[in-house]
Chain A
């Protein structure tokens, strides 16, 4: 019987299950296998640690160190320069639009995939994962092919005064495409596991489709949705490839934080590049902590 416990009762149930679990270890086999296993365990741990040190800790540590080696002052100066502030603003605008659009699309698509059966459903399901497989640069180029000034859709929009490529709409579009699967894939399994009975019960109690969605479905998926939104936000803030192609990298116009880092670095303005990189890293770490906070409740 599918009876997932709520957040309230979980701590009461879980520990008792955990204490009973390690019991079936066979007492005879343990002493002989333990020393050998702990030997390999040390090697494994050490290699994992070395790997992570070189791949992650040293580079990120170096950036932090270079950013703050002359104190907090230079960081503040670099981050409050007009170009840096503009890049931050563009990044935030693009990220927020992408998160908003993908939240609406993600929840809608998840409901459609889990709750409805329609022709082409499997194709739709497969298409949602497409952004994972396609290189962001290719996504950018594809958008230029459709919405560029000399492409049919692009020139048509240009005549009514909407510019997509080398402008915010194109950057939002590219970011939305890249982050498309994140909310859907976070929400769909939880929706599946939740089942339809609570929603049907709400219907028989007099709730219409919208009331049922708002009062039953949405609270049921709220942790998963929060997790998906944070992932989507983190990915949108850090997006580089697709945005680099469609934005045209116009300084003080379409430059996002990631593009700013790259441009400053190329122009030997390392303090600004490091300051912006640190800011991005800090936002990423905060998002990561948020997902860690959301995850346990979601997996209950």
Chain B
């Protein structure tokens, strides 16, 4: 294991933030800590980095107990949401910082920093100061700075959280490609399930200071352990007191065994897909069908349709 977190608990004052959390991170993996704000994911990441100290439990990095090791001796790279750029240093000096601390030779530093700046596409901006860069450029600089010291693990705390949607999407796929090139064990914190599913190969869902479920994005989506994970990882609707994905519901015009009548309240076209808002008895629900299916159904607002949950679909009792 690259990182093993065992039974870690942490409170700030009287507020518990992490409660007996255990997480394992495979070497070379790209793991997302996913969860709502206040779920404790950032705190867990900071405990792994040594920026916070756990009240109980141990942190093992590359087989060594790092629980009481100072952050500067853990050999982890950390990227902050707000970049934490060294404002009085140029881009070059920011990236070179860790190497200068390690007293590497001038020539070696120049070579390594140049390589890294090429990797993050900032080679033209080496002489600039952070204030002269855009948010996305600052974050790429911070990433190069963290990678410069060849960390055993790279930790990113909501790395794209402060960027606008467009840059966010670009950097997301760029991070995925970068990880395929560099192969450093990476853990990143996010509250965006789409980001986690798109970038990570393993997702750990944290809520209320506890691990709800850990696994591949596919696993978590198809086999959620509980209703929280199911509703956090994708769209859900409620039918007969059970949670079900809206695209796992069959809609037909005529009644059939096991189907339930529903009244169409509203039809919204979302490009390729069509969303039908329904009333089943007194409950609201919604289903998502392809444009083709919608054309075949040919329903209008107020019509009655018959719905049936797909027999192989995953459903969970609503909490």
Contact = CB atoms under 8 A, between A and B. Distances in A.
Nearest to A208: B72
B72 A207 contact: yes
B84 A198 contact: yes
Nearest to A219: B88
Nearest to B145: A205
Interface in B64-104: 70-78, 80, 82, 84-88, 97-98, 101-102
B149 interface: yes
Contacts of A211: 101
A27 interface: no
A90 to B, nearest CB: 38
A200 B71 contact: yes
B82 A1 contact: yes
B72 A6 contact: no
B49 A204 contact: yes
Interface string B27-50: 000000000000000000000011
A205 B84 contact: no
Interface in B159-213: 162
Nearest to B132: A9
Given A204-B49, A205-B98, A198 B146 contact: no
A198 B85 CA distance: 6
A206 B86 contact: no
B71, B74, B145: residue with the most chain A Cβ atoms closer than 10 Å? B71
A221 to B, nearest CB: 10
B313 interface: no
Interface residues of B, number: 33
B26 interface: no
The number of chain A residues touching the other chain, given as a range, is: 20 to 34
Contacts of A207: 72, 97, 101
A292 interface: no
B130 interface: yes
Given A203-B71, A207-B101, A220-B87, A9 B129 contact: yes
A12 to B, nearest CB: 8
Contact of B98 (A2, A6, A206): A206
A201 B87 CA distance: 12
Contact of A8 (B82, B101, B132, B148): B132
Contacts, number: 82
A204 B86 contact: no
B225 interface: no
Which of the listed residues B73, B87, B102 has the most CB atoms from chain A within 10 Å of its own CB?
B87
Contact of A204 (B72, B87, B131, B162): B72
B86 A216 contact: yes
A201 B73 CA distance: 13
A70 interface: no
Contacts of A220: 87-88
Given A205-B101, A206-B72, A206-B102, A200 B84 contact: yes
A10 B131 CA distance: 9
A202 interface: yes
A204 B102 contact: no
Given A5-B131, A203-B71, A204-B49, A197 B80 contact: yes
A201 B101 contact: no
Interface centre among A200, A204, A216 (most CB of B within 10 A): A204
Contacts of B70: 203, 208
B131 A1 contact: no
Given A200-B84, A205-B98, A205-B101, A6 B49 contact: no
Interface in A1-27: 1-6, 8-10
B297 interface: no
A18 to B, nearest CB: 18
A236 to B, nearest CB: 29
B72 A203 contact: yes
B85 to A, nearest CB: 8
A198 B87 contact: yes
B51 interface: yes
Contacts of A205: 72, 77, 97-98, 101, 145-146, 148-149
Contacts of B142: 201
A197 B42 CA distance: 14
A297 to B, nearest CB: 11
A5 B85 CA distance: 12
Nearest to A199: B84
Contact of B129 (A3, A6, A197): A6
Contacts of B146: 204-205
A206 B129 CA distance: 22
Contacts of B145: 201, 205
Given A1-B162, A204-B49, A211-B101, A8 B86 contact: no
B78 A206 contact: no
A6 B101 contact: no
B75 to A, nearest CB: 8
Nearest to B79: A201
Contacts of A204: 49-51, 71-72, 74, 76-78, 146
A208 B71 CA distance: 9
Given A201-B86, A203-B50, A204-B51, 4 more contacts: A6-B129, A200-B84, A201-B78, A219-B88
Closest 7 CB pairs of A and B: A197-B84, A205-B98, A6-B131, A9-B131, A204-B78, A201-B84, A203-B71
6 contacts: A1-B162, A3-B82, A8-B132, A202-B97, A204-B76, A208-B72
Interface of B: 49-51, 70-78, 80, 82, 84-88, 97-98, 101-102, 129-132, 142, 145-146, 148-149, 162
Interface of A: 1-6, 8-10, 197-198, 200-208, 211, 215-216, 219-220
